[in-house]
Chains A and B, each alone.
Chain A
């Protein structure tokens, strides 16, 4: 079974670092990016099953990254997250093809459950594959 590869994108470096460490402790190949530019760079260089993407970031924002992922990596599932609920962002994100929209603080177990559902919409294994 392939190891799940997850790209976690948020401009808060310490948040990214902690989440990636926690993913690794769960046997998930987590990669962190602290900007939209960096996320797109990683997506060009490697392949991922899921991208978890903060909407509001300096430079290229999450929705713009989502648009680019749709064009260049349509096979990648994208989960958006935001600090404060925004119905407009949620609606735009859904329209752009995000599979889910989470509000921070995002509980890691909830995030992994959402990843699992995104990858196995008909129901699948407990490890998100």
Chain B
């Protein structure tokens, strides 16, 4: 058996990284393409028949504003990449759940856009601090969002919110469309959040009553991560 059997969460984490980085990279390329084209348009206008006209000046000014908006878009994408990269710095750290929700929503934005789903995030009304591995929680929420986005039907709107609950928090991923039974299987396969965080997914209301939402129960402090490979009696991948 290979590492995928021993630590499925590691493989899952790498796949998550690859998925979101590829998406953000594509979005950044789009930003550069637009800026490139707008710069070309500015050159065209300057090279035109009446480059010093008031009309040309107005168009150049308007283009400068559009370029600035794209630069801001690129900076937001870059910040998401930066935050994602640093989410693996410390596997046991206190962090704000609202920040995590905003980051995961930005990471899932492209998936939602390609699926033509409006993805809306609401920060908790009051700050919720959790302690554990932020990367794993990020991944868990992301995969839950992707499952719900993939199941969107006619309404095509998914909302992500959270609230303090007992000694931890609840994250709600709500679809304006009824969730089909297939989502239950996808959610059941999301082991990583359970392994690392003791997080539990539930469906509300239970099938088949629509509409549906996923509730992710997360403790305030994650239990220690017990990777299967560290347990006594686990098969050694090297055969030793």
Contact = CB atoms under 8 A, between A and B. Distances in A.
B5 interface: no
Contact of A12 (B30, B44, B45, B114): B30
A61 to B, nearest CB: 9
Given A22-B44, A59-B116, A104 B29 contact: yes
B186 to A, nearest CB: 21
B115 interface: yes
Nearest to B25: A84
B41 A21 contact: yes
A25 B45 contact: yes
Contacts of B113: 58
Contact of A108 (B29, B40, B66, B115): B40
B59 to A, nearest CB: 9
B31 to A, nearest CB: 9
B38 interface: yes
A26 B40 CA distance: 12
B33 A12 contact: yes
A26 B44 CA distance: 9
A15 interface: yes
A104 B27 CA distance: 12
A106 B29 CA distance: 12
A18 B114 contact: no
A74 interface: no
B-side interface size class: 20 to 34
A14 interface: yes
A18 B41 CA distance: 7
Interface in A53-100: 56, 58-59, 83-84
Interface in A1-41: 12, 14-15, 18-19, 21-22, 25-26
B114 A83 contact: no
Interface SS majority for chain A: loop
Contact of A22 (B34, B37, B66, B115): B37
A126 interface: no
B48 interface: yes
B32 interface: yes
Interface in B8-59: 26, 29-30, 32-34, 36-38, 40-41, 44-45, 48
A48 B66 CA distance: 29
Nearest to B47: A25
Contacts of B115: 58
Contacts of A19: 37
8 contacts: A14-B66, A25-B41, A25-B45, A58-B113, A58-B116, A59-B116, A105-B32, A105-B36
Interface of B: 26, 29-30, 32-34, 36-38, 40-41, 44-45, 48, 66, 70, 113-116
Sorted nearest first, the 5 A-B pairs with minimum C-beta distance are A18-B37, A105-B33, A14-B34, A15-B34, A25-B44
Given A15-B37, A18-B38, A104-B29, 8 more contacts: A14-B34, A15-B30, A19-B37, A21-B41, A22-B37, A22-B41, A25-B44, A106-B33
